[in-house]
Amino acid sequence: MAQHTEVLIVGGGIWGLSTAYHLAKLGQNGVLVLERNEAIAAETTPQAAGLVGQIRSSTPMVQAVRYALELFSQFPKETGHDIGLHQTGSLMVALTPERMEAYTRQIEKANLNGVEANFVSHAEMARLVPAMDITKVEGGYFVPKDGYVDPQQCAFAYAAAARDLGVQIQLNTPVTGLRQHNGEILGVETEKGFIASNHVVITAGPWGAMLSEKVGATTAVQPIRHQRVHTAPTPGIPDHHPVVRVTDVSCYLRPEKEGYLYGFFEPEPVSIDLEAMPVDFRTADIEPPVEVMTEARRRLTPIFPILKDLEIAEYRRGMTTFAPDGAYLIGPVPGIDCLYLATGCAALGIAGSAAVGRWLAKWMIKGDPDEDLTMFSHQRFGPQATNQEWLRRESEQFYANYYRIRTE
């Protein structure tokens, strides 16, 4: 194992691998990724839905997803590695007049941000999504340049491209601590010994906050269960089938391996206290979400009757991480020079992965991400960040109301 490196990335999920790729692409040498598992992208990344949608409430996130779509579409030609982008668009479905009014505002805002989005007829919705019962639908709009990826394939592509540029990835290497002196990061402690580094980046997903606490930094994020299922194959799903978001029932659906993948934002979220879990706790240890997904199917079946009799091929035991305002926490860790932390994916980890990697890489190399990322500051919650009850309550509330009708 290397005893010294220039940049050390803790966590070989999609954010860490994107960061490694972007660092190497910008010419940074001596990049080492540490992953505790036997394989990269083995925890929360493969449990994700991989949706890449441009309808976002903030300009930085609209730009972030736009960059992801550009990078993903060009990645095979530029690197020789296919991220697997399916750019079939997003169909936003409304079941009520109130939601249609909200969609009118969304379309106007999207168009102002340069995102193509337009209402579509019931006939067009039936063409896009043949299995949908359009008689149950008030209306909807379509975002043609949206898409989705297989999250693990996307992560593997980042990793392969990063390795091609000289990045090293060390597996089976749990990080047990961080070492700092007089407010400057020195490196990390692992089960195999100390590794010195001039820069350390924590991209350990839900475990990131626990690592940052080892140097006295408080991170305002709450891990929350987020589950989905993949159905058995079924005939008739067209190649052009878009991602469908049925926001009135807090559900989404897309094609997956000749079947459907669908997920659900639970109205009564289940937080996960990682500090109370065993050291070897993994995402796979979460209970299969049978009851949760039964409720998701109940909500979706009136619009997608085909789901009623489709067998479940796989339960995905997901875990996402939310800040109280649903925005990322990204950037330098206050009080510790050359230590960076990115967490709080808020169910936007795959869509934001490209921008997160680029922001962190520029921060380390140039000292500036080249964008105003104030909204992602680690310090934005002030003293409240240490109030665990407030943090849990507010984060759960944001999760439960993820698809709420917004008036701002």
In a domain, 189, yes or no: yes
| SS3 assignment for 204-252 | CHHHHHHHHHHHCCCCCCEEEECCEEEECCCCCCCCCCCEEEEHHHCEE
In a domain, 79, yes or no: no
In a domain, 405, yes or no: no
Q: Are strands 312-316 and 319-322 parallel, antiparallel or unpaired?
A: unpaired
214 with 284, same domain: the answer is no
Looking at the predicted structure, is the pLDDT value of residue 79 above 90?
A: yes
Structural domain containing residue 212: 4-53+151-219+323-400
296 with 372, same domain: the answer is no
Burial environment of residue 372 by CB neighbours within 10 A (0 to 12, 13 to 18, 19 or more):
exposed
230 with 287, same domain: the answer is yes
Contacts of 105 (CB under 8 A, 6+ apart): none
341 with 214, same domain: the answer is yes
Grade residue 60 by pLDDT with cuts at 50, 70 and 90: very high
Residues 142, 117 contacting (CB under 8 angstroms): yes
165 with 308, same domain: the answer is no
Number of domains in the chain: 2
| Rg (alpha carbons) of the chain, rounded to whole number | 21
pTM: 0.97
In a domain, 63, yes or no: no
In a domain, 183, yes or no: yes
Mean pLDDT value across residues 19-42: 98
Domain boundary among the residues 318, 341, 364 is at 318
CATH label of the domain that carries residue 340: 3.50.50.60
Domain boundary among the residues 299, 318, 337 is at 318
Of 328, 295, 72, 315, the C-alpha closest to 208 is 328
Q: Which two tokens stand for residue 330?
A: 């990204």
194 with 251, same domain: the answer is no
280 with 373, same domain: the answer is no
Our CA angle for 116, 140, 321, nearest 5°, is 75
Domain boundary among the residues 264, 297, 318 is at 318
In a domain, 66, yes or no: no
Give percent of the chain above pLDDT 90. 95
In a domain, 70, yes or no: no
155 with 300, same domain: the answer is no
Residue listed under structure tokens 């990078």: 71
Grade residue 2 by pLDDT with cuts at 50, 70 and 90: low
138 with 205, same domain: the answer is no
Quote the pLDDT of residue 3.
83
Looking at the predicted structure, is the pLDDT value of residue 8 above 70?
A: yes
C-alpha distances out from residue 192 to 40, 167, 300, Å: 18, 20, 48
CATH label of the domain that carries residue 105: 3.30.9.10
Looking at the predicted structure, is the pLDDT value of residue 1 above 80?
A: no
Express each pLDDT in 325-378 by its tens digit.
999 999 999 999 999 999 999 999 999 999 999 999 999 999 999 999 999 999
177 with 303, same domain: the answer is no
Distance of CA 339 to the CA centre of its chain: 22
Give percent of the chain above pLDDT 70. 99
Q: Which two tokens stand for residue 85?
A: 């982008």
Instruction: Tell me how far apart the alpha carbons of residues 121 and 214 are, in angstroms, rounded to a whole number.
Output: 55
**pLDDT mean across residues, the chain:** 96
Express each pLDDT in 148-166 by its tens digit.
999 999 999 999 999 999 9
Quote the pLDDT of residue 271.
97
Q: Which of residues 318 and 128 earns the better pLDDT score?
A: 128
357 with 235, same domain: the answer is no
In a domain, 203, yes or no: yes
96 with 192, same domain: the answer is no
Alpha helices in 43-179 (DSSP H): 59-79, 97-112, 122-128, 151-164
How many other C-beta atoms lie within 10 A of the C-beta of residue 276?
7
Grade residue 406 by pLDDT with cuts at 50, 70 and 90: confident
